[in-house]
Amino acid sequence: MNKNNFLNLETIEKASEFVANQIISLVNSKPNCVLGLATGSTPLKVYEYLIEDYQKNKTNYENVITFNLDEYVGLDKKYADKSYHYFMNKNLFSKININLNNTYFPDEKNSEKYDTLIKSKGGIDFQILGIGINGHIGFNEPPADLNSKTRIVELTDSTIKANSRFFNEESDVPNRAVSMGLWSILQAKQIFLMAFGKSKKNAIEKLYKLNDFDPNLPASSLIKKDNVIVIVDQESSFY
């Protein structure tokens, strides 16, 4: 990618609508497409637009396949509603006509087979990514490995702190997760990374200025790929 692959769409609404429209076109043109999905605050509005469109236009998700990027490991039962499964069901899957048997999440048991499973379904056509304040994508924390596959990872203090907003105590945030690796993510045919809000500005500025992969900014693994679009809002944009 180059500097032209960065798009400032000014507001979260415009940026999310743009990404949602790309997904809707893909689902219409390839009804059995494979979507790579993310959780967190960033994609929430994209999912809202998809639901709104589904209600209005009946876009058909019956044969769509999805792979989520990551999931916590060792989440206490009392926090079952913080799992990424729960998030996806609540914010998207229960509101469109997707077949839950076609929705996949990495877990402790399937982590070694997850990349093969993705490949067996034809590979990810369209991957959505957020970015951590430390530049992580998925739960690929710095220093990151360009060849990493789906596996169990340790979360860094900065990620635990950022995610503690969803828990009663910072110590309740799991310190492990299972995540698609950088290698796994880079196999996607098209990638849209979204960054909203001023907390992401620093990571976006570093990404924009780098010309090569820097393990300290895992998102920079995307630099060598052409089919990547980085979408920012006014607050996360510095240019």
The DSSP code for 143 is S
Return the number of the residue (36 or 40) whose C-beta is nearest ligand PGA. 40
Closest separation in Å from C-beta 197 to ligand PGA: 7
CA distances from 197 to 13, 53, 131, 135, 194 (A): 12, 25, 11, 14, 10
Return the number of the residue (103 or 159) whose C-beta is nearest ligand PGA. 159
Q: Given the rule CB under 6 A, which residues bind ligand PGA?
A: 40-42, 130-132, 136
Closest separation in Å from C-beta 82 to ligand PGA: 12
State the residue for tokens 């236009």.
Answer: 57
Would you please indicate which residues are annotated as catalytic (active-site) residues?
A: 70, 134, 136, 141
Return the number of the residue (42 or 150) whose C-beta is nearest ligand PGA. 42
The kind and range of the H/E element at 185 are helix 182-186
Residue nearest to ligand PGA (CB): 40
Helix, strand, coil percentages (3-state) for the chain, rounded to 5, are 40, 15, 40
Candidates 188, 30, 38; CA nearest to 115 is 188
